[in-house]
Amino acid sequence: MDSTASFSTSLFSSPLVIQDQRLNQDNSSIDSSFLQNQTNVPKEFLWPKVDLVNAHQELLEPLVDLEVFFRGDELAIQQAARVIRVACLSHGCFQVINHGVDSRLITAAYDHLNRFFQLPVSQKLRARKTTTDGLNNLSYSGAHANRFTSNLPWKETLTFGFEENLKESSVVDSFKSSLGDDFEEMGKTYQKYCEGMKNLALVVMEILAISLGVDRLHYKKFFQDGRSIMRCNYYPPCPEPGLTFGTGPHCDSTSLTILHQDEVGGLEIFANNKWQIVRPRHDALVINIGETFTALSNGKYKSCLHRAVVNSERARRSLAFFLCPREDKVVRPPEDLVHGEVTRAYPDFTWSDFHLFTQKYYRADAHTLHNFTKWLLSSKPIYHN
């Protein structure tokens, strides 16, 4: 099939307005000590009232027990795939238990998260991007104030890349080179955490393939040599939590997000036309479908529209692992999803182009993939094998 000729023209119903929000070029940073000393929310952190709709209902979804996968129970795996399919067709979010990631490793990851964000801002600033993509380096951000000047999130983040095919100590080296030898153990913990998340992500990819009725190894093979992203989030208490967000409403541009949130909670997703609360479970991991997988499913599975709220009493923490394909991989759905008269929902693209779009030209929101498609077709060549 000609991948350039049959994707839906309904994507182009309105003109594309590129959001160039790289307005704050002085690399200023806002850390938790600044945020915690505020008695009111600064204007840069105020969000539009239309976005500040409270969630009052808890998302009630069946938990997916992955023990059936690890013991090879095919009937139970098919049932789990059906549960996941329903969630992904609706809103793109589900939770898994018995996922194979050691709870002690998760606890250790939080311990090191606490240690990092308690550092003086001068030390945290040593973990700043020094390359164009930043994926092999530590990247500290205080409220993304180095990228944006309005609708800032009430949080700090530490982001770094993970590539399984690199030497075993790649994450360790990033921590040591940026922060010093005293942070070697922190690097080792996050190296192990990323390895566990990558293994789990490939399991989920296999079940997603089953749920879509395609070769069960198709997506697993596609992501096997990928270069993923890990992010530690710290949300300080906020004096007026009803006026801002820890993370504003958006869909992840990556393929799959595996999130662990601490007992404080704060994750909310948009399902059934309203915001709903995802209650934290210490034994569960939240799985969100990202925009890249929406394209890989030919638009069948929804990317999860989500946000994070803050509170006035307690700091909130979370650990997010973003599964990504290799940068030069062409993102296109398997033939089983586009045969016959089926219309292509999106043109071919590479993850490197999509990542570039979100880092340099567009702030992620609920319409990122839609607008990326327009940008791609207006400025980029079509990819062929």
Bridge partners, residue 162, by sequence: 228
Backbone φ and ψ of 181, nearest 5°? -65, -25
Spatial separation of the C-alpha atoms in residues 203 and 67, rounded to whole Å: 11
Spatial separation of the C-alpha atoms in residues 342 and 213, rounded to whole Å: 15
267 burial level (CB within 10 Å; 0-12, 13-18, 19+): buried
Q: 94: which 2 tokens? A: 């589900």
User: Looking at 316, 317, 332, 344, which residue is catalytic?
Assistant: 316
Q: 148: which 2 tokens? A: 């944006």
Largest CA distance in the chain: 61
Which DSSP state fits 148?
A: -
* Amino acid occupying residue 82: R
Q: What is the crossing angle of helices 184-212 and 74-90, to 10°?
A: 90
CB 94 within 8 A of CB 84: yes
- Bridge-based pairing of strands 247-250 and 227-235 is unpaired
Buried b (16+ CB within 10 A) or exposed e, 62-74: eebbbebbeeeee
Spatial separation of the C-alpha atoms in residues 149 and 152, rounded to whole Å: 7
Based on the residue annotation, tell me whether 316 is a catalytic residue of this protein: yes
CB 308 within 8 A of CB 152: no
Residues identified as active-site? 316
